[in-house]
Chains A and B, each alone.
Chain A
């Protein structure tokens, strides 16, 4: 699987938007971009995924650069509950990693009241 680069940590204020960047300059044409997050003392949870177009769901939005070498997870109004480690993961449906997720170090998001 191609590698992703994320900042180690970011800070946000409550009720403000948060933009979490992810660089994936070696992404292949078939790699999907997935985001998971891990709240303190919990297992990871799925946030969103996309291939080329921007995606929205109830949790977040995913903005994908036109060249697909980077993407941004957008939390529109951060809450204290959004404090977590956010993982950007590339998944190639034709790759040899079967179904498992390959986690990097992620970005630790802190939300200040």
Chain B
């Protein structure tokens, strides 16, 4: 158990819909990262927050957005969903923002868009 929690575990929705994925980092961790894992693209970085502020952006679509709240939990919002958005979404956390720190991953949310 990494100490990172993600809800829900599974999500099935239809094209065009909007969903919210939630992540609670390990106690004491200030950085949260979101990654998407699909069969054809592998694991890809989406976005990073550090202590409530956006710190880095990766291959995140404009239809996707995220935020980190004062209690440090984070939410990833996916809107106007398409079939290709079906994937595993992982959240990871680390103590700070720097590169050499270990990232701890949650169990993921499996999203299926029908």
Contacts and interface: CB of A to CB of B under 8 A. Distances in A.
A95 interface: yes
Interface residues of B, number: 29
Interface residues of A, number: 22
A88 to B, nearest CB: 13
B18 interface: no
A49 interface: yes
A43 B108 contact: yes
Contact of A97 (B4, B44, B99, B106): B99
Contacts of B101: 99
Contacts, number: 70
A44 interface: yes
Interface string B22-60: 000000000101010000001111001010000110100
B2 interface: yes
B102 interface: yes
Contact of A103 (B43, B55, B94, B102): B43
A89 B25 CA distance: 22
Given A43-B106, A44-B90, A92 B45 contact: no
Nearest to A43: B105
Contacts of B67: none
* Residue of A32, A92, A103 with most partner-chain B CB within 10 A: A103
Given A43-B2, A46-B102, A92-B99, A99 B56 contact: yes
11 contacts: A43-B2, A46-B104, A91-B100, A99-B33, A99-B97, A99-B99, A99-B101, A99-B103, A101-B43, A101-B45, A103-B42
Given A91-B99, A98-B48, 6 more contacts: A38-B43, A43-B4, A43-B105, A98-B97, A99-B99, A104-B42
